[in-house]
Chain A
Amino acid sequence: MSGPQILLVEDNAILREMIRRRLIRRGYDLILAKDGEEGLVVVREKKPAIVLLDMSLPGKDGWTVAGELKADDATAGIPVIALTAHAMRGDRQRALDAGCDDYVSKPIDFDLLTQKMQAFLEG
């Protein structure tokens, strides 16, 4: 099944695999990146339809990556959904302030996630 490409930037390998498998079951086409730097390279190359961005990444953190994506005209238009494990009010706001378009908190409610993704894909 080929659909729009979704980029998942997540440093935890097990989590990355779990999310990939669950999203593929729902019909999405996944590309993966394991840290911020790789994520930025892939975005610029592949121009995915949505970026699922884990906020706590090694090296360059999620907020910085979001900022850079939005600062670059070539990538600013790509919706970024933050995956944030902190689940504290301030952190959600911080994700939005950094440039993310939306967020879901971990543990991920996949129904909610696909709902949000669809909103961006169709909107």
Chain B
Amino acid sequence: MDHEGLNIAWILVTAALVMTMQVGFCFLESGLVRAKNSINVAIKNMADFCVSASVFWLFGFALMFGAGETGWIGHSFFFVDAGTDYWLLAFFIFQLVFCGTATTIISGAVAERMRFSAYLIIAFFVSGLIYPIFGHWAWGGVVPGTNSGWLNAMGFRDFAGSTVVHSVGGWVAFAAILVIGARLGQFQKGRPNIQGHNLTLATAGTLILWFGWLGFNGGSTLALNEHVPLIITNTIVSGAFGGVAAMFVAYAYYRMPKTWAIMNGIIGGLVGITANCNVVSPSEAAIIGTISGLLCFGGIVLLERFKIDDAVGAVPAHAFCGVWGTLAVAIFGDLAVLDTGLSRGMQFWVQAAGVSVCAAWTFGISWIFFKMLNRFVPLRVTPEQEHAGLNVSEHGATTELVDLISEMDSQRREGSFTSRVHEEPHTEVGIIAAEYNRVLSRVEDEIRQRENVAEMARNAQGEAVRANQVKSDFLANMSHELRTPLGIITGYTELIQEEMRDAGQGTYDEELEAIANASQHLLHLINGVLDISKIESGRMEVHLEPIEVTDLIAGLAKTVQPLIRQGGNTLKTDCPPTVGILVSDEKKLQQCLLNLISNAAKFTHDGQIILTVSRCEANGKRPRILIKVKDTGIGMNDEQMENIFEAFTQADSSTTRRYGGTGLGLAITRSFVRLMGGDVTVASKPGEGSCFTLELPADLEPTEAPVPARQLELNTLSP
């Protein structure tokens, strides 16, 4: 068998597996960030491989593996073009993909806020300077004919690159996230709250990484020999135990096995075994994996505590576990296979020295470089760009979903629901868009319906106002239309009466008197009906003025004299001057009192009518004026009293025939009194007479002009 050919084939195959890890990182990182940054992360992964590959070919490989007398840096193999040295080329390819791995670790940690241009510069810096130089110290001399790097010469052993690749990447990432700071809103509520948008993708990425890692570790022998199966076994075992350990501790900490914890546990386990997979047994690999898983988890929790934002957990997985894996070489490693000639203790110190130098060199140089670079090229995007998402702000790239969401967002902002969003056919987003458009149509319909209802309400209101106006006009017209012929009737009747009396002809005097009385009655009816109409339609006005009560009563007494004498009655008034001034509607009050007195006179014969006025100012009650109209007439029983205030009813149906009247007087009186803020009550005993009590508030303010009673909103007196 051509071992040389087989080895080279193995190197190439495992190099291809390691390049697959680029895909793994791409999926992992894309899945763990928000959708609006997913494209940006993917492009960074792709771009940093381009940069690192180019740079590594140009001079990275030379610095790392070139001949160098000092042991600090190489200086041959620039512009790698090895001609027929196919082993060197295969080796170069293998190392190139390793460099790509180290570089791409950083993109995960700084995701969602690092400027793309700055990231490319960092990729250049890492792959061209940091990685190859430290790589020379640790691995220089592997190429036949070159001197060893100084760490290598010391006995530092990092088999596949827990330190050289993973710690380097991890520490640079650490420096980067410290310089650029946490993502906006990540620690707002104390705990990190930014969620990855596609954990399925991230999980797939993890599995692809694991798969590629078999080449990463398995190919580092640079030969397909008896060590390879053990190496691969250890790789799988360590990764598995890392995952399981992380699962348990995540369950203990969070009460559920969190996906990102398991993923990082696996990766931590893989990083941890990378340095020592050739010198440990599978049992030791299990231990190393377990501790790596726990360490990784612990690292993530620690970073959270200190509010350091690592978007994918790259720093704990690669830096911390890388340190552990490198130290584990001395702790667990088979010294014979290791073949450095050092004792376990010395080996440990050498390993420790190596990881310390790595941390110092990598972190230190990176930190200084980033701080300086930040002054010229801001490493972080603006808050607006970060909020909009780097897909859009850095690459103008968008997804259908983002487009739909921004369309919906602008619609909401403008409140315009007449346009429709774009429906991309045969896509899930298109289905959502279609449903949304249907909802919009429904919304438009609802809005239109509500507008119609509002329109109808407005119209109805307009109708109501018009109807009201029509009523007012009707009342006004009716008033005029009825009074005019009535005026003619009464006027001519009186004229004829006068002229006949003058001429000494009394023949038709009685008849004419009847006509005159009838028209008077008609007039009273019309006035009553119009008053009731006005009251019921709320159009009655009141004009509140100060009234000298004693004068009012005196005037009233004079006016009713004929009426009183008609029934053979006497009127007695009692209105002490202490009653004073009453603010009320004088005309209405006169009408009410006239009504009460004429009723009393009507239903009393040869009796007495007594009018008493008093002012009442009890403590805690509103001041009021009380006017009592008492008669010694026929009186009423309870049943009759119930109806008297109703419009168009009298004490009973016989009353009209015997006593005349319209049945409106008391209804109007009560309405008027109530409009003026008071009330009227009655007490009566059949055969003994009735007493009507009119009560009015004495604390009203005068109005300058008549106002609709409604507007005054007079509170009725409490009993």
Contacts and interface: CB of A to CB of B under 8 A. Distances in A.
Asked if chains A and B come from one complex, the reply is yes
A93 B705 contact: yes
Contacts of B523: 107
Nearest to A105: B483
Nearest to A21: B495
Contacts of A14: 488
A21 B502 CA distance: 14
A46 interface: no
Contact of B484 (A12, A89, A93): A12
Contact of B488 (A15, A86, A89): A15
A15 B476 contact: no
A69 to B, nearest CB: 22
Measured as residues with beta carbon below 8 angstroms from the partner, the interface class of chain B is: 20 to 34
A93 B707 CA distance: 12
Given A21-B495, A87-B479, A106-B484, 8 more contacts: A18-B488, A22-B491, A25-B499, A85-B483, A86-B476, A89-B541, A90-B541, A107-B486
Contacts of A25: 495, 498-499
Which 9 pairs between the two chains have the least Cβ-Cβ distance? A107-B487, A18-B491, A85-B483, A85-B480, A106-B487, A89-B706, A107-B490, A106-B483, A22-B495
B459 to A, nearest CB: 29
Nearest to B482: A85
Contacts of A18: 487-488, 491-492, 495
9 contacts: A15-B491, A18-B492, A21-B495, A25-B495, A25-B498, A85-B484, A86-B476, A93-B706, A107-B519
A21 B491 CA distance: 10
A119 B524 CA distance: 28
B206 to A, nearest CB: 91
Interface string B584-614: 0001000000000000000000000000000
Contacts of B487: 15, 18, 85, 106-108
A1 interface: no
B75 interface: no
A89 to B, nearest CB: 5
B494 interface: yes
A101 B675 CA distance: 30
Contacts, number: 58
Nearest to B542: A89
A89 B495 contact: no
Contacts of A40: none
Interface in B467-502: 476, 479-480, 483-484, 486-488, 490-492, 494-495, 498-499
A88 B488 contact: no
Interface centre among A14, A19, A89 (most CB of B within 10 A): A89
B190 to A, nearest CB: 73
B543 interface: yes
Interface residues of A, number: 20
Contacts of B498: 22, 25
Nearest to A56: B480
A85 B527 CA distance: 12
A110 B492 CA distance: 12
Interface in A79-123: 85-90, 93, 106-108, 110
A89 B703 CA distance: 14
Given A15-B488, A88-B476, A89-B706, A107 B495 contact: no
Contact of B483 (A89, A90, A107): A107
Interface string B505-534: 000000000000001000100010000001
Contact of A110 (B476, B486, B494, B587): B494
Contacts of B483: 85, 87, 106-107
A89 B705 CA distance: 10
Contacts of A106: 483-484, 487
Contacts of A86: 476, 479-480
Interface string B14-25: 000000000000
A80 B163 CA distance: 118
Interface in A8-36: 12, 14-15, 18-19, 21-22, 25
A59 B511 CA distance: 39
Contacts of B491: 15, 18-19, 22, 107-108, 110
A15 B534 CA distance: 27
